[in-house]
Amino acid sequence: MGLGSFAKSEGGRAATLLAPPFLYALALLALPILAVVLFSFWTQDFMTIDTRFTLANYREFFDKPIYGVLLGRSLMVSGIVTLVTVLLAYPVAYFLSFHVPSHRKSLWLFLITIPFWTSYLIRVFLWKVILGYNGVINSGLIGAGIIDEPLSFILYNINAVIITLAHAFAPFAILPIFVALEKIDRSLIEASRDLGETRLTTFFRVTLPLSMPGLVAAVLIVFIPTIGDYVTPELMGGAGGKLIANMIQTQFLQLNNAPMGAAIAMVAMVCVTAIALVFVALNRRWLRGRG
């Protein structure tokens, strides 16, 4: 089959159609990321870029403790946010899939996704209003006579960052788990009950393992993007709650040191990707061990 006949075949026409989005992503995603990799091995002195290959940026990253602290804190925050979000979301997804009548499901999903589509900046800021010194929680608790002094541990620290991020990423966790639960053949659950398993053991031995792909997707779709968020730590984190994304942003926009920013971004990306891959591999092994 020659090239001409391939172009006329259905597969060939599909390839032609796929070319524009592919070339767009190649030009605006793959090549720019390649540029980040290159820049991370260069240095910048004020406005001039020195294109000699050097590991200086990476050396600085590992020599100065601040970068390691920020990266470690970022990974910890993302990890806790992922855990909290997924644990809180699973029962909701389970309820949607198993207890809501099918004609009501899309209404529930719609209600869950709406807050996600409203201005992110303003949502973050509103958490400040809720958690602040004169905020909803403090004035409510004081008004109810439960506390005398406003609580200070809920704003301008890591806790505030975690609460806000867990709220922002909630729908991301619910949707993939819901899709995985919907795909489970209900007769498998009936069979398990018929064979003498209780409702609880059926959940742990049938439903949970079968919903694992959704759970894994939820973990990845929450964990990876939270690393790149600098809005929430900037507004909610105070002095001790800054994360690695704030440092990347500072290097690029305030210190005008693109190569150093590129190196930090590379290290963060490599860490996130490595953790994601290990997580997926462990999960696969766990599922196979059971099978």
Partner 1 sequence: MRGAPLRVYAILYLLFLYAPIALLPLFAFNDATIIAFPLSGFTTHWFTDLVANAALRQAVGNSLFIAAMTAIFATLLGLCAARAGAMARFPGKGGIIGFVMLPLVLPEIIVAVSLLIVLRQVLGLNLNNWTVISAHVLICTPFSIAILNGAFQNLDPSIEEAAMDLGESRFSAFRLVTLPLVMPGIISSMLIAFTISLDEFIIAFFLTGANPTMPVYIWGLLRFPAQLPVVMALGTILVALSVTLLIIAELFRRRGLARAGIKDTGGFL
Q: HSE, CB side, 13 Å, CA atoms: give it for residue 68.
A: 8
Q: Does 135 bind partner 1 (CB under 8 A)?
A: yes
Minimum gap (Å) between residue 188 Cβ and partner 1: 19
Of residues 154 through 193, those in contact with partner 1 by CB under 8 A are 167, 170-171, 175, 178-179, 182
Question: What is the tally of helices (H) and strands (E) in the chain?
Answer: 17, 2
Among 1, 53, 65, 117, binds partner 1 (CB under 8 A): 117
**Of 98 and 204, CB closest to partner 1:** 98
Q: Is 72 in the site for partner 1 (CB under 8 A)?
A: no
List 76, 136, 274, 281, residue binding partner 1 (CB under 8 A): 136
Determine which residue in the list 125, 250, 279, 280 makes contact with partner 1, applying CB under 8 A.
125
3-state DSSP percent of the chain in helix, strand and coil, to 5: 80, 0, 20
Considering only residues 258 to 287 of the shown chain, the ones binding partner 1 according to CB under 8 A are 258, 261-262, 265, 268-269, 272
Least Å distance, CB 195 to partner 1, is 20
CB 90, min distance to partner 1, A: 11
The residue within the footprint of partner 1, chosen from 58, 203, 230, 279 (CB under 8 A), is 230
Among residues 206 and 221, whose Cβ is nearest to partner 1? 221
- How far is residue 225's CA from residue 78's CA, in Å, rounded to a whole number? 9
Binding of partner 1 at residue 235 (CB under 8 A)? yes
Write phi, then psi, for 194 (nearest 5 degrees): -60, -30
Q: How far is the CB of 289 from partner 1 (least distance, A)?
A: 27
Q: Are 71 and 243 in contact (CB under 8 A)?
A: no
Both structure tokens of 4:
């001409």
Is 241 within 8 Å of 161 (Cβ atoms)?
yes
Nearer to partner 1, 164 or 206 (CB): 164
Contact 138, 150 (CB under 8 A): yes
Window contacting partner 1 (CB under 8 A); options: 54-62, 64-72, 125-133, 204-212: 125-133
**Is 204 near partner 1 (CB under 8 A)?**
no
Q: For residues 118 and 187, which CB has a smaller minimum distance to partner 1 in the complex?
A: 118
Question: Min. distance of Cβ 179 from partner 1 in angstroms?
Answer: 7
Q: Please report the DSSP string for 98-143 in residue order.
A: HTS-HHHHHHHHHHHHGGGGS-HHHHHHHHHHHHSTTSHHHHHHHH
Residue 203 binds to partner 1 (criterion: CB under 8 A):
no
Query: Which residue number, 52 or 290, has a Cβ lying nearer to partner 1?
Result: 52
Neighbours of 281 (CB within 10 A): 10
Q: How far is the CB of 38 from partner 1 (least distance, A)?
A: 9
Instruction: Mark residues 5-44: x for contact with partner 1 by CB under 8 A, - for none.
Output: ----xxxxxxx-xxxxxx-xx--xxxxxx-xx--x-----
Alpha carbon 155 to its chain centroid, in Å, reads 22
113 touching partner 1, by CB under 8 A:
yes
Q: How many CB atoms lie within 10 A of CB 258?
A: 19
Closest CA to 147 of 135, 156, 158, 159: 135
β-strands 43-45, 48-50 pairing: antiparallel
